[in-house]
Chain A
Amino acid sequence: DAGITQSPRYKITETGRQVTLMCHQTWSHSYMFWYRQDLGHGLRLIYYSAAADITDKGEVPDGYVVSRSKTENFPLTLESATRSQTSVYFCASRDRGQNTEAFFGQGTRLTVV
């Protein structure tokens, strides 16, 4: 099926553990994004990627690592999870151009205990 999918949908992990959230899109969109969503903060950009092997920091990158070896995949890794990283994480993609529509996955709800 065409679209953008995130996995897992829900994850509970312990403080200090490494966690990877997966994102896969089937459109071959150039741009991909990771956001976190917390009440009162809207969507805050963690990292984004303009193409395979090109990534850049967003507003809140500390504690996160990304990679993009293939155009369709953009995993987000929390190297050592902290409670402050408890959040809902959204992956998005969009085609080249300043005004193109962003398509979002359904989100991953991550709880760090």
Chain B
Amino acid sequence: TQLLEQSPQFLSIQEGENLTVYCNSSSVFSSLQWYRQEPGEGPVLLVTVVTGGEVKKLKRLTFQFGDARKDSSLHITAAQPGDTGLYLCACGTSYGKLTFGQGTILTVHP
């Protein structure tokens, strides 16, 4: 089982600040997904990164996949209260298994 380590576990910031969340593993990822979960709801996919060194942007969110495919990061620019939620990284296998990290709880204060 591939272990996914996320950091930090908690993040509390003011509106307008920037932040970065990390997802690391001792093994190589075949691909990595980032999900966001709001209270009372199930997680929703934000992005999938597949290629080492890949960078994807989703409005104010920037996702990077490390060159060695052992790490990934999520950077949010000018955070807004609407960004508040639980951010999860996940990796899948060719036989279907999907494993998640322990998540980062982000709170953005107005």
Q: Residues of B at under 8 Å CB distance from A? A: 1, 6, 9, 30-31, 33, 35, 40-45, 48, 50, 88, 90, 92-103
A102 touches B98 (CB 8 A): yes
B98 touches A48 (CB 8 A): yes
The complex places the Cα of A107 from the Cα of B102 at a distance, in Å, of 17
Given A31-B96, A35-B100, A98-B92, also A43-B43 (CB < 8 A) = yes
B interface footprint on A18-30 (CB within 8 Å = 1, 0 otherwise): 0000000000001
Give the number of chain A interface residues (Cβ < 8 Å).
Answer: 30
Please give, as numbers and ranges, the residues of chain B lying within 8 Å of A103 by CB-CB distance: 42
Least distance between B49 CB and chain A CB atoms (Å): 9
- Which partner residue on chain A sits nearest B42 by CB separation? A104
Given A30-B96, A48-B96, also A42-B42 (CB < 8 A) = no
Please give, as numbers and ranges, the residues of chain A lying within 8 Å of B48 by CB-CB distance: 99, 101
Please give, as numbers and ranges, the residues of chain B lying within 8 Å of A74 by CB-CB distance: none
Please give, as numbers and ranges, the residues of chain A lying within 8 Å of B45 by CB-CB distance: 101-102
Least distance between A104 CB and chain B CB atoms (Å): 3
Please give, as numbers and ranges, the residues of chain A lying within 8 Å of B33 by CB-CB distance: 99, 101-102
- 6 residue pairs of the A-B complex, CB under 8 angstroms, read A31-B98, A42-B6, A42-B100, A50-B95, A98-B92, A99-B50
Contact of B42 among A56, A92, A100, A101 (CB under 8 A): A92
Least distance between B67 CB and chain A CB atoms (Å): 19
The complex places the Cα of A105 from the Cα of B50 at a distance, in Å, of 26
Given A92-B42, A102-B90, also A33-B98 (CB < 8 A) = yes
Additional A-B contacts beyond A40-B9, A44-B100 (9; CB < 8 A): A42-B88, A42-B100, A43-B88, A50-B95, A56-B97, A96-B96, A98-B93, A98-B94, A99-B50
